[in-house]
């Protein structure tokens, strides 16, 4: 599994240098977890959304990287809850 890349200022830097397409999600975004998702038995987080053509786009990362990203964003922007 590749590393999680955190970009806290998307409005300034974008996702990458090349072009990309933003898909507006008009349905729910599904977030789930699996207890033994990695080869080492660590938990993973999966985020999925249905695309316009009814296919499902799923991204996954380890729970540790997901929580680290959440903590970094919370440190930058505060806790909006």
Strand positions, DSSP E, the chain? 29-34, 44-50, 56-62
pLDDT in tens, 9-48: 777 777 766 677 777 777 788 999 999 999 999 999 999 9
pLDDT of residue 69: 92
Q: State yes or no: pLDDT of 68 exceeds 90.
A: yes
Cross-strand partners of 31? 47
pTM > 0.85 = no
């Amino acid at each position: 599994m590749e590393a999680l890349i955190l970009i806290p200022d998307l409005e300034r830097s974008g996702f990458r240098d090349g072009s990309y397409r933003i898909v507006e999600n008009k349905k729910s975004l599904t977030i789930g977890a699996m207890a033994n998702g990695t080869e080492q038995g660590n938990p993973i987080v999966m985020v999925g959304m249905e695309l316009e053509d009814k296919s499902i786009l799923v991204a996954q990362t380890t729970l540790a990287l997901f929580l680290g990203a959440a903590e970094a964003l919370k440190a930058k922007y505060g806790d909006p809850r």
